Amino acid sequence: MSLRTVNLKEKQFECGGRTFYVQDALSFNRYRELQRLSIEFGFSTTFIDLFKEVKKAYDFVQTNKNWGDLAVTLFNVIAGVSKLEDKDDPALRLCALFINEANEDVTIFDELKIKDKINCWSKELDVSPFFHMAVNLVNGWMPAYKATSQSISNKENSLIQETSIKS
């Protein structure tokens, strides 16, 4: 089965026998959740952050530094990875605040309803339009992403050079 790409600019799409409507307005309750999700989306852990934390833990062991610091670093790695399993991606959750069914009460934030919508979309639809929508919802995300990507690229190149020198 191939995935279907929806055009969210059309403000309506079908999925799983259900009709979803893309809305421009948000209730106060959903706006509060938008604020939380925007931060989560903007500061989610990247592969390079995870790599840096594991490398920091390795360095602690190699240099016999403070074992308490090692425990904190490893706890942060475990907590970061476990969050990935706890809930759906913040980008999809952001979109679910604005994409509703006709009978949905848009004045409340309902975590189960958010999960239900994302589960429905995941069975048939390509994620790309949803990711693009989320990027546009979080003010300043794209410039920060570009700057971070460049910084990560520079750090990756530096790590590669360090690794090849030590080998």
- DSSP per-residue letters across 89-130: -HHHHHHHHHEEETT--TTS--HHHHHHHHHHHHTTB-SHHH
Distance in angstroms (rounded) separating the CA atoms of residues 54 and 60: 10
Distance in angstroms (rounded) separating the CA atoms of residues 150 and 107: 40
Alpha-carbon torsion (6, 129, 111, 100), positive or negative: negative
Cβ(140)–Cβ(34) below 8 Å: no
The pTM for the full model equals 0.63
Q: Is residue 51 part of a domain?
A: no
Q: In tens digits, what is the pLDDT along the chain, a chain of 167 residues? A: 799 999 999 999 999 999 999 998 889 988 888 888 777 766 565 556 666 777 777 777 777 766 777 777 777 777 766 665 555 688 899 899 999 999 999 999 999 999 999 999 999 999 999 988 887 777 544 444 445 455 555 655 666 666 666 55
Cβ(141)–Cβ(41) below 8 Å: yes
Task: Report how many domains make up the chain.
Answer: 1
Determine the structural domain holding residue 162 and report its residue range.
10-44+91-166
Q: Is residue 55 part of a domain?
A: no
Radius of gyration of the chain (CA): 20
Instruction: Pull the structure tokens for residue 142.
Output: 């794209």
Q: Is residue 140 part of a domain?
A: yes
Q: Is residue 138 part of a domain?
A: yes
Q: Is residue 119 part of a domain?
A: yes
